[in-house]
Amino acid sequence: MTKKLLLITTFLVGGLIVSCSSDESGNNNTPPVITVPSPITISAISPELLVTGENLEITGTNFVNKDYPTKVFINEIEITPKEISNTKIILPITDVLKGGSNTLKLQIEKVSSNIISFFIMTKGWSKLTALGNLDIQSSCVLDNSKTIFSFVDNDTSDNSFWGAPKKIEGKSTGYEPVYINQLGSYGDFKMIDEKTGALTNTNAGFFTDNGFETQKRIDVDRYFSPAINGVKVGYLDNNICILTTMISGQIYTADKGATTIKSDPPSWATIVSNGGSVATRLAISAFGKSVSDNKFYQVGLLYTLKNGLYDLKNVVLQSETGYNDWVVKDSISKQANSKISSASYKFANINKIFGLNKEDKTLYASTDMLQTWEVIKTDVKAFFLRTETEWYIHSGDKLFVTKNSGTSWELELELPAGSVVNDISFSKTKIIVSGNKGLHYLKIE
């Protein structure tokens, strides 16, 4: 009996030893499987031009390998992605990265992707060069787009003008011109978004809802607008557009030109001779909606011929709609201050109208609808209003800003010597300066 138990025990122990020996041998003979990285392809990046603080989206194939990490390099410096999958990478653009042109590539082990370029705009002021040396009359910046629209003089000679709309877009190399399907010479141009805007010339106004791929045209005659390129974009927002003339004729649309209302100038704005020639008595120089009451106003001069000489008087008109039922707000009895250029009149609030004496470069303001004036600032070449309390002036070769109605002024931008500033336009987060000889600066706030 004792012998049998010993044999059984020996057999069981031996079996365990053999079994364990077989398992260990199997593990040692199974090598790990390493996946060789597949070719990496970057098919697109978006956007090509972006601002510090935004995210760059990279799309393509084979961005992830299970055995090796994916490395992202910008200008040969490794950057940590915000998100990563096999087909998409989200990359934060921080202020560590330089403004201007940049290159990007991906790398997994020894496999590298194709190299892609993109452009970074830093916050603050940047000089734009896409329009070359043209005289830039005005520009429009948009909060929901990086596209910039400008109105320029395409004729580089000093004694003629050929107004043309321009469009520049952000590309991987910076801002570049993009063709607008619009030939001819024009007098004014504004866009409220990438699709909606208005363009004018001497004989017509044009509205678009597709970036001027097509347009709606409204013709005018010399009784409606006697001046060359006298039709202007008086007011444009997301809902309506009003074209206006120096003698207070308006063209109104609330559906991007599909339907329009045309209001003729008041009869007293012109004198028509027996031969049919038109002499103007009214010269409107400022048109807009006042923040004080949301009513529309026109400001300018009225000419009255007396004893062979013109008697100049200020005039202020008011309308609820901006295109009809205009009423005279002042008495048209106050002699205009001949030192202040009526062509310079501007307002955000009708209770404070600004004007510039261009001879001694003094900026004035009137708080009683042009009856009296007070000095605001000296040594002013040009001025521009962002709000009723935030104003910009061109003084010397610098831009200055006040954000407290002139109580204090701060240096905003140094300009090249001899600069001529034609316009400063604003959105909620951007400022753009336009001027002669290619003067073009963008500020991203």
**Residue ranges of the chain with per-residue pLDDT less than 50:** 1-25
The span from the CA of 36 to the CA of 67, in Å, is: 8
Q: Where are the alpha helices (DSSP H) in 76-140?
A: none
| Degrees, nearest 5: CA angle 372-377-380 | 110
The confidence score (pLDDT) of residue 15 equals: 44
Report the b/e string of 186-201 with b at 16+ CB within 10 A: bbbbbbbbbebbbbbb
Give pLDDT tens digits for 3-21: 443 333 444 344 433 444 4
Cα dihedral 357, 362, 368, 372 in deg (nearest 10): -70
Residue in this structure with the two tokens 């005018």, named with its chain if needed? 220
Q: Give backbone dihedrals phi and psi of 204, rounded to 5 degrees, phi first.
A: -165, 165
Which amino acid does the sequence have at 13? V
All structural domains of the chain with their residue ranges? 41-121, 123-180+381-445
Cβ atoms 353, 317 nearer than 8 A: no
Give the global pTM. Answer: 0.89
Q: Which of 310, 383, 293, 294 has its CA nearest to residue 341?
A: 383
CA atoms within 13 A on the CB side of 376: 27
The confidence score (pLDDT) of residue 303 equals: 87
Name residues whose C-beta falls within 8 Å of residue 78's C-beta, 6 or more positions apart in sequence: 71, 72
The span from the CA of 234 to the CA of 251, in Å, is: 10
The confidence score (pLDDT) of residue 307 equals: 78
Residue in this structure with the two tokens 């079996």, named with its chain if needed? 15
The span from the CA of 262 to the CA of 288, in Å, is: 18
**Topology (CATH) of 41-121:** Immunoglobulin-like (2.60.40)
Residue in this structure with the two tokens 């006298």, named with its chain if needed? 230
Q: How many CB atoms lie within 10 A of CB 414?
A: 11
